[in-house]
């Protein structure tokens, strides 16, 4: 299951994020979204967990929990909506 994690501390690393979610089960991936130009965290991430029940438990336990001085927003990630591409102008 893919999980959205918002309101992350800008100092948190992917390994720290993986450790937080690893308490609940196997973490397949933990990706902090960064700005392309500055490479700084945008304050949110996606965590993928192998087991659905463990992922639900992590969501329940970690949503609104303080980690790194900030209250996390944790919920099931929604599939990205495809935005229509803008036509190229020549």
Question: What pLDDT, on the 0 to 100 scale, is given for residue 80?
Answer: 74
Question: What pLDDT, on the 0 to 100 scale, is given for residue 90?
Answer: 63
Instruction: Give phi and psi for 67, each to the nearest 5.
Output: -135, 125
The H or E element that residue 63 is part of is none
Q: What is the residue whose two structure tokens read 């102008």? A: 89
Question: What pLDDT, on the 0 to 100 scale, is given for residue 87?
Answer: 67
Q: Which domains does the chain have, with CATH numbers?
A: 2-70 (3.30.70.330)
Instruction: Using a pLDDT cut of 70, give the percent of the chain over it.
Output: 92
Collapse the DSSP code of 43 into the 3-class scheme (helix H, G, I; strand E, B; otherwise coil) and give the result: strand
**Cβ neighbour number for residue 5 with a 10 Å cutoff:** 28
Instruction: Give phi and psi for 75, each to the nearest 5.
Output: -155, 170
Mean pLDDT, residues 9-28: 96
89 confidence band (pLDDT: 50, 70, 90): low
**pTM for this model (two decimals):** 0.85
């Amino acid at each position: 299951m893919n999980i959205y994690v918002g309101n992350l501390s800008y100092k948190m690393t992917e390994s720290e994020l993986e450790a937080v979610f690893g308490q609940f089960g196997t973490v397949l991936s933990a990706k902090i979204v960064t700005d392309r130009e500055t490479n700084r965290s945008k304050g949110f991430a996606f965590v993928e967990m192998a087991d659905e029940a463990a992922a639900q438990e992590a969501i329940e336990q970690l949503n609104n929990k303080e980690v790194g001085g900030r209250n996390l927003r944790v919920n099931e990630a929604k599939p990205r909506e495809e935005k229509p591409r803008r036509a190229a102008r020549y």
